[in-house]
Chains A and B, each alone.
Chain A
Amino acid sequence: METPNPNVKMWQGNVACAEAALAAGCRFFAGYPITPSTEIAEVLSRRLPMVGGNFIQMEDEIAAMGATIGASLGGAKAMTATSGPGFSLKQENIGFAVMAEVPCVIVNVQRGGPSTGLPTHAAQGEVMQSRWGTHGDHPIIVLSPCSVRETYDMTVRAFNLAEKYRTPVILLSDELVGHLTEKVEVPPIEQLGIVNRKKPLVSPDKYLPYELNESDIPAMANFGDGYRYHVTGLAHDETGFPTNNPEKIQVQLERLNRKIDRYRDDIVEIETHYTEDADILVISFGSTARSARRAVINAREKGIKAGLLRLKTIWPFPDREIEEISAPVRKIIVAEMNLGQIAHEVEWATRRSKPVVRVNKINGEPITPNEIFNAIIAQD
């Protein structure tokens, strides 16, 4: 009999998320019970104390987001996890993390909405909320995994991007991926490439927490490091103190948005299958991309030139990649468990130069390979 490989696990997506967070260096998790994300909190409540980390179940979703930001300012890599209604509640404090440039990871395991919706069924209805859920013009990074292994990799990546760009990062999972159990080969820790926030190299009297520098990403001191600075959600200048000076506000907010925009090539990831000679391009993401992949394979077996473009990064939106890959195709099909939140962006990215056919479902049931296959045939 073969010796079992200790790195091979049978994990649920939510378990992989929790384990990846630990591997990425997460030492603080604040949460609140909500289906279908609760397993992440449950696993971390057991695992974090084992590594000397902190788990806390807060009194509500708002508090969980606040505590996550506070912990990050205290120097811990910090995460919270939630689903639809909880994600709505967290929005104000997510905006604070954006404005104050506090790295942290927010996991949203999407379920059916609106409102209480379908707690135990999947949806992909928070594409737009993850982009624009908090008020005001702001940048955000959103990643969407389609498998258990990818949940692991993307959770690590979410922490790395948060630390690198001093920003909250949203991991946009869904009920199907979160509750799916699959075989995962856990990558060795050395392979993960852990990124830590850039610390200031100057003396405390010269430290500018929101410095305008060449990289657009200011160095971050943790509270207690000897750099006594001010953090506020109010519009502030380089020093971190509130200001009403229009020029200073304009400069800071432009930098805040530019610091993600200019690095979009480092942030955006996509995956393609059979797109080289594709005539019909299917675009999908998250759990729906699994059905889309099967549909494309089935179409190829029938001699139809179908291809798949899977969005791994949702925001910043992979518009250039979509434009380039879809250039030679005749038609585009967008499959998603919402009423066209990605399809609309695809139309915009392709400047409506070709038909964008929508395959949508919002009843809690996954979109099946057959439904996408039928859409491909109909376009052939």
Chain B
Amino acid sequence: MDYLQYLRLDKMPHIWCDGCGHGIILKSILRSIDKLGWDKNDIAMVSGIGCSSRTPGYVDFNTLHTTHGRALAFATGLKIANPRLHVIVVSGDGDATAIGGNHFIHAARRNIDVTMIIYNNYIYGMTGGQVSPTTPSRKKASTAPYGNPDEPFDISRLAQAAGAAYVARSTVYHVGRTDKYIEQALTKTGFSVVEVLTPCPTSYGRRNKEGTAVDMMMAQKANSVGLERAKNMSEEELEGKIITGVFVDKDQKSYLTRYNEVVEQARNAK
């Protein structure tokens, strides 16, 4: 496929560091969109603040780079005002589940017709490597010099618990799976979430002695466990593992479907 038709080449080079996995996710998104054959005019990509949130600047869609954590709020208004648009939110772990955590759980509860791709690199990259809600316990960050004292969020489980219609987790090593999950998410009615683990060798790997970008991707391969296999493993066996797969894929009325029913009801009541 021709990636160039989707990219704003005059905005290159991008801001992502050598070895960052974000570009791999971007290509997965573009392949999935290409496969669906969507018109670029009908796609809106919305983001908040952070490394991943710079993605919209590089793609030739209707693009909206909002305030930190608030992409879902803007996306909700945009989708409701123009339901014809395919609204895709891209977000990082901090943007989505720290400052934007409230919007995340409510978007899932509401089942708003938006797809969210979360680039989870366990760290605040843009500001220089501060601890995030997904930094594993005891790992180091610039604001956790003695190791992270907190327990991390499991983003996919959080989305599942909050009521999302589709939830899947993959890594940038597992590109084929990531493509498939994103495509499934984009065609799902309601709120769909794909969490993709992506290495940050600059701010996370370096501080935690995880080696090069390649080493970090090989670790993704070595540590990933499919959802089905994970079901038969003990908590000790799952320590440090990445559970990948489709966590949720259910058919339930989306926000727009329900709201259209409200409109019908209101019009009949007149």
Contact = CB atoms under 8 A, between A and B. Distances in A.
Contacts of A75: 81-82
B78 A70 contact: yes
B161 interface: no
A230 B80 contact: no
A60 B102 CA distance: 8
Nearest to B112: A56
In the complex, which range does the number of interface residues on chain B fall in?
35 or more
A230 B64 CA distance: 6
A58 B62 CA distance: 24
B38 interface: no
Nearest to B102: A59
Nearest to A240: B63
A233 B77 contact: no
Contacts of A231: 63-65
A358 to B, nearest CB: 37
Interface in B37-74: 40-42, 44, 46, 56-57, 60-67, 70, 72-74
A173 B51 CA distance: 40
Given A50-B267, A72-B81, A224-B42, A59 B106 contact: yes
Nearest to A233: B67
Interface in B71-108: 72-82, 84-85, 102-103, 105-106
B85 A223 contact: yes
A71 B73 CA distance: 10
Interface string A92-133: 110010000000000000000000000000000000000000
B41 A69 contact: no
B87 to A, nearest CB: 9
Contacts of B63: 228-231
Interface string A40-67: 0000001001101010101110111111
A75 B62 CA distance: 13
Contacts of A93: 67, 70
Contacts of B259: 49, 54
Summarize B's interface: helix, strand, loop or mixed.
helix
Given A223-B64, A230-B63, A69 B77 contact: yes
Contact of B44 (A49, A54, A60, A223): A223
B11 interface: yes
B233 interface: no
Contacts of A18: none
B270 interface: yes
Contacts of B56: 230
A130 B44 CA distance: 31
Interface in A12-55: 27-28, 30, 46, 49-50, 52, 54
A234 B80 contact: no
A78 interface: yes
B262 interface: yes
A226 interface: yes
Contact of A63 (B57, B70, B80, B84): B70
B73 A28 contact: no
Nearest to B103: A63
Contact of B77 (A60, A68, A224): A68
Contacts of B269: 50
B84 A233 contact: no
A49 B262 contact: yes
Nearest to B71: A66
Interface of A: 27-28, 30, 46, 49-50, 52, 54, 56, 58-60, 62-76, 78, 92-93, 96, 222-226, 228-234, 241-242
Closest A-B pairs by Cβ, 8 of them:
A70-B77, A66-B73, A74-B81, A67-B77, A49-B266, A71-B77, A70-B74, A74-B82
Given A224-B41, A225-B41, 7 more contacts: A63-B103, A64-B73, A71-B77, A78-B81, A92-B67, A231-B64, A242-B57
